[in-house]
Structures are given as C-alpha cells and as structure tokens.
Amino acid sequence: MMKIKLTIVLSVFLCPVNFAQTFTNYTSADGLLADNVNCIDAYDGYLWFGTQNGLSVFDGANWYNFTTSDGLIDNTIQAIHVSSSGVWLGTDFGVSYVDLPNLFSGGIITSYTTADGLGNNVIKCINKDSDGNIWFGTNSGVTKFDGNNWFSIGTSDGLPFGGVVDIDQGSNGDIYLSSGLGGIFIYDGSVLTSVTEIDGLLDNKLRALVVDQEGKKWVGTSEGLTVLDNNFDFLMNHTTMLTLPAPDTLNPIEDVEMDSQGNIWVGVYVDYLVTEGGVCGYDGSQWIEYQVADGLVGPVVRAIAVDDNDDLWVATSTGVSKISNHGLGLRESVEDQFILYPNPSSDRVTILLKKETSKKIEIFNSKMQLVQSESINGAKLSINISKLSSGIYFMKLDNLIKKFNVID
C-alpha cells in the first residue's frame, strides 16, 4: 500500500514583521581577515569565521582577528566548533583550542597534531557529543578526544577512503559520520554500520548531515538532499531547491543547518559548466531560495550558520552575507482578530474580522515580495487568488499576518 503524507499548513498571526528580506554583506573592507571564508559558527551572540588568513570574530559591531602570530597552528581554518567551554579550530596542520573566557584577553592557545593523538592533521569538521567529547572528522577517518585521551577510527576499522566531512549524534547516543565518498556510518561505541545509495541516499559523496527534533536525518550530498527517518529508512529526496540555468538541475549541497523553528537551510554550489550558488530554506512544504541577484555576496557558498535570532549567515569565497527577515520561522502570536479560510485554497479565500474596518490587505509570496493587494470595507472579504501559483503566502492587515497555502 502506498502511503501519502499530507502537510497541513496552519494559519497563524505574526507580529511584528518586516516584509523585505535584508541582506547585510561583510568583506575584508569591513574587518574580515579575508574574503575567502571556509567555515562559520554562531554562538552566544558572536559569529566565528574561519578564513584563508585566520580567525575573524564578529559581535555585531566589532571585529576581532586571530592568526598564527596569536598562537594558531595555521591561518587557513577549515572547521570551527564553538561551545560554552571554548572554540576549536581545524586546519590542514592540526587543531588549535582556546578557552572562551580568555579569547579576547590574550588567552593561551593550545594546538594538537598527530604527535599528540590526532588520527590525521587534515581536519574537515569538528563537533561535540552529549558527554562532552570532541570529535574531529579528518582526511582519514575520525578522532575522539575526551580531554585526556585520544581514540581514532580509520580505514582499517571499516571507514572508506575520503575522510569524514560531518559529524552528528542521535538521541540514543550513536555517532553519525558523514563520509566524503562512502555514505553515512553509524558508530554505536563499538560497531560501524553503513547507510549508502542502496538504502536510498542520492549519492555516497556526502557534504553535511543534520538531525531534526523528530530524529529525521537531512543528508546533504553532491546531488541534492536526502531525508531519512528515525530508523534511517528513506523518506524523500530534494534535488532542485535552487533554480539553475539549463541543463543543470541537481543541487550539490555544501552545508545543511536547522533553525530554532525546525526549518531546514541548505547551501548549494555548482562548479561545473557554470558557477552558480545560493541558499535555500524549507519549512516542511515550500522552498525559498536566495542567490546573488537577491543580494547574496557571492555564488561560491562554502558554509552556513543560524544565529540566536534565526538570521542566516552565509560564508562564501567573496565575503559573508547575513540574511534577515527571510520569511521562514516567523514567530506566532496569540491574537485572534483575523480569520482566514479555507486554507489551503486554490481559487478564493475569505477573511473575517472581529470588527468592521476600511483598510488595505496585502499578499506576499515566500520571498516576501508583494504579489497582490485588496481593500476591505467591513468585516468580511472574499479574495480571488486564482492567479497565484501554488506555494506559501502571507496575508497582511496592519501588523497582523496570516500564513496560507495556495494549491493547484
């Protein structure tokens, strides 16, 4: 029996709202050590950028920069992980660590290499598990560090050639290793189990992996995004989130992140035939996309991060973009003055108000672009939406907003 999953889009009130997404771009002219940014992390109001020339930290107003002259093992930073205890920086020559309270006051930076216990000096990713262990994805496998002891898993233990490019953890404590060439490997503390194309992955060349609140795995591959359920069974594929010029269709994923509302964000970069790239967000039913034409600082997307305000930060080879008011994850209000039905709808929607008014009603698409406006005189209005294409829309009356879905 074929199972069909229905997505119900709820109408909610939202306030306050700014309807035009805002792009704020930063380059070396603003304080970045280099425009070529490899990795990014957001923590406690700070943004951390690993560049070709060192570490740049931004607090929203001021920039703080750190290089080998401050004690870093190398200036080309390929991976960052920041937590309450400190910041780990991965390079092609090992890792550097500084405890967070002392970072801005000349704290001592400690570096580690294979001589100390790393399985490989070429670091591709860094993450921390629920027990406080630090995991390093390297060019030859993965290394765990508990603060005193080092433990590595490599090709001789069953991991494929190509290294580990991303690391996450399941609710049961299992460690999920995204390999560069061999799919996903699940490590339960003693045994490695693989998940590959045979199990539903679009491709075995992985770039990133995120686990959502339901345990679903959002797996970024070289051919798009695969979604697996809590048991790693196949759910769906997304391959054309970013609009590309013909004949390109598949979206190679560079990074995957999730915001506090559960929306999924992906960074896409295509470097064959054309140079195209951008970021796309998914709210469970609809994708939105942003490219250079929308304000992104450059097409060569390397990494993405979501800050405490759910603003999206995009690291590229030509600087960094902050995207605010992007239309996903808008906050819900408890107000009930504005009713919209039916939802979803294909031709007309009706709005009911608690009291009569004479005002303008505006409809915006998922990119927060105005697509239709109407006037209401009274407490009820039926609006023809038959000319709107299918997708997510927002209806605005003063500072009250309803989210609704148009279907074919």
pLDDT, tens only, 195-240 = 999 999 999 999 999 999 889 999 999 999 999 999 999 999 999 9
CA-nearest of 133, 124, 216 to 170 is 216
pLDDT on residue 3: 27
Residues in the chain: 408
- Name the amino acid, one letter, at 61: A
Indicate the pTM of the whole model.
Answer: 0.78
Residue 10 banded pLDDT, cuts 50, 70, 90: very low
Half-sphere exposure of 128 (CA within 13 A, CB side): 15
d(CA 202, CA 253): 11
List Cβ neighbours of 369 (8 Å cut-off, separation of 6 or more): none
How would you class 381 by CB atoms within 10 Å of its CB: exposed for 0-12, middle for 13-18, buried for 19 or more? middle
Q: So what's the pLDDT on residue 244?
A: 83
User: 37 - beta bridge partners?
Assistant: 51
**Mean pLDDT lowest among 29-38, 81-90, 179-188:** 81-90
Range 86-95 average pLDDT: 96
Instruction: Kindly report each contact of residues 226-234 with a partner whose C-beta sits within 8 Å and lies 24 or more positions away, as own/partner.
Output: 226/200, 226/201, 226/202, 228/195, 228/199, 228/200, 232/184, 232/186, 232/195, 232/199, 233/199, 233/200, 234/199, 234/200
**pLDDT (0 to 100) of residue 261:** 82
Render pLDDT for 357-384 as a digit per residue (tens, 0 to 9): 888 999 988 767 789 999 999 888 999 9
Average pLDDT, rounded, for the chain:
88
Residue 355 — pLDDT band, cuts 50, 70, 90? confident
Q: How confident is the model at residue 16 (pLDDT cuts 50, 70, 90)?
A: very low
23-40: pLDDT as tens digits:
999 999 999 999 999 999
Return the number of other C-beta atoms located less than 10 Å from residue 151's C-beta: 13
Domains in the chain, CATH or no CATH each = 22-324 (2.130.10.10), 332-406 (2.60.40.3080)
Which of 73-82, 105-114, 122-131, 259-268 is predicted least confidently?
105-114
Q: What is the pLDDT at residue 213?
A: 86
Residue 130 CA from chain centroid, whole number: 21
pLDDT greater than 60 at residue 15: no
pLDDT at 408 over 90: no
Predicted pLDDT of residue 28: 97
pLDDT at 247 (0 to 100):
72
Average pLDDT over residues 159-181: 96
pLDDT class of 331 with cuts at 50, 70, 90: very low
- Averaged pLDDT for residues 264-277: 88
Q: Give the model's pLDDT for residue 118.
A: 98
Instruction: Return the residue matching tokens 């990133």.
Output: 208
Average pLDDT over residues 45-57: 96
Average pLDDT estimate for 11-18: 38
pLDDT score for 336: 56
